[in-house]
Amino acid sequence: MHLCFIFTFLLQSGDALLPLVINTWGFKSASETAWSALKAGGSVLDAVEKGCSRCEAEQCDGSVGFGGSPDEKGETTLDAMIMNGNTMEVGAVGDLRRIKNAIGVARAVMERTDHTLLVGESASQFAENMGFIAEDLTTNQSVNIYTEWLKDSCQPNYRKNVSPDPSKYCGPYKPGSQLKKRRRLIDIHAHDTIGMIVIGQNGQIAAGTSTNGAKHKLPGRVGDSPVAGAGSYCDSTGGGAAGTGDGDIMMRFLPSYLAVELMRTGTEPSIACKTAISRIKIHYPEFFGALICANTTGHYGAACNRVPGFSTFPFVVYNSQTNTPLLQSVDCF
């Protein structure tokens, strides 16, 4: 009777399930690596960095790491961030060139400088100075993607209101009026980002992201992933969130920040995720995007916007209950 009462009490009070590793998409090896880092005595930051680095090395879905998503010039460039939910420090890189381990560089920005975000060629120089190896991020696959795109009149692309009509030519473009309806990118996996939240046994939260950005992006384009509050966010007193999808749209709404603030005031993780996605839907009903959320007790949820060809969003959870990287999914709404 007494034991039974205690058991019921624990369940009802939302018994903490820590540590927790949760990440976007079916990237199981990333969660496995993050979990191993924790078990080996690493910090939550180590877990996020190692988990996302694993995806960079494995080129998860071709949309994380080298050799994927070439830009309009055929170059692969990387965006990444990492955040410490105890100190609220952030390190991030955007449009990083020639360095494979983007989240490692992001962590160096956080721990070896007073800055938050470094971009482009200068970020690469910083990385080299910090001992990261510069190498070509081009692969046969990225060359093929780029060559096919050139052959197809540089379609689809992200230009609008320019002449000549971007549905016919590769440019150079000038401001002008568009004659034909341009072809939009419909490949949903052109936007996959690894976003990861790790909560330690002691409640410390870290979050991070890594991606090679949107396929055929304009050179210089930086998406939501390295922007704190957009790509991911965490606060050890509120929770953590991370997103994936059409970053050009998502970064206008800081969905990760919104979700963490909602969880801080007691909103359940799945509702917090849903509310943040709903906010974007008001303005962009057809945007493609998803969010994962976890609160301080290790409860988690996810939400995604339903668009043609995309009705469920996969994510991976690793805690002492799953005891393995468990693939889960949420129905988009």
Ligand X SMILES: *[C@@H]1O[C@H](CO)[C@@H](O)[C@H](O)[C@H]1NC(C)=O
- Tokens 């930051």: give the residue: 45
**One residue of 256, 295, 305, 319 binding ligand X per CB under 6 A:** 295
CB-count burial class (<10 Å; 0-12, 13-18, 19+) for 284? middle
**Residue 223 · residue 69 · CB < 8 Å:** no
Stretch that binds ligand X, among 175-183, 254-262, 289-297, 309-317 (CB under 6 A): 289-297
41 lies in the site for ligand X, by CB under 6 A = no
Distance in Å, CB of 269 to ligand X, minimum:
6
| Phi, psi of 55, deg, nearest 5 | -65, -40
Rounded Cα–Cα distance for residues 270 and 290 (Å):
11
What is the closest distance, in whole angstroms, from the C-beta atom of residue 49 to ligand X in the complex?
A: 26
Between 159 and 299, CB nearer to ligand X: 299
Considering only CA atoms, give the Rg of the chain. 20
Q: Is 319 in the site for ligand X (CB under 6 A)?
A: no
Binding residue (CB under 6 A) for ligand X from 8, 10, 14, 133: 14
Residue 268 interacts with ligand X (CB under 6 A): yes or no: yes
**Window of 76-84, 152-160, 226-234, 294-302 that interacts with ligand X by CB under 6 A:** 294-302
Residue type, 59: Q
Do 93 and 119 meet the contact criterion of CB atoms below 8 Å apart?
Answer: yes
Shortest approach of ligand X to residue 297 CB, angstroms? 4
**Residue 315, burial from CB neighbour count under 10 angstroms (0-12, 13-18, 19+):** buried
**Annotation says 193 is catalytic:** yes
Alpha-carbon span 184 to 329, nearest angstrom: 27
Q: How far apart are CA 104 and CA 111, in angstroms?
A: 11
Give the nearer residue to ligand X in terms of CB position, either 67 or 223: 67
269 binds ligand X (CB under 6 A): yes
76, 77, 193, 296: which one is catalytic? 193
Closest residue to bound ligand X by CB: 14
Site for ligand X in 131-160 (CB under 6 A): 140
How many CB atoms are located within 10 Å of the residue 305 CB? 22
Number of amino acids touching ligand X (CB under 6 A)? 9
Residue 219 lies near ligand X (rule: CB under 6 A): no
Half-sphere exposure of 70 (CA within 13 A, CB side): 21
- Please check if 222 is assigned to a binding site: yes
Q: List the one residue from 299, 302, 303, 319 that touches ligand X (CB under 6 A).
A: 299
Segment lying near ligand X (by CB under 6 A), choices 57-65, 116-124, 177-185, 262-270 = 262-270
Q: Given the complex with ligand X, which of 273 and 316 has the nearer CB atom?
A: 273
- Which segments of 76-231 are extended strands (E)? 78-84, 89-96, 117-119, 162-163, 174-175, 194-199, 205-211
**Residue 296 interacts with ligand X (CB under 6 A)?**
yes
Length of the chain (residues)? 333
Residues at the binding site for substrate are 221-224, 244-247
Which residues form the interface with ligand X (CB under 6 A)? Answer: 14, 140, 266, 268-269, 295-297, 299
Residues at the binding site are 221-224, 244-247
List, by residue number, the catalytic residues: 193
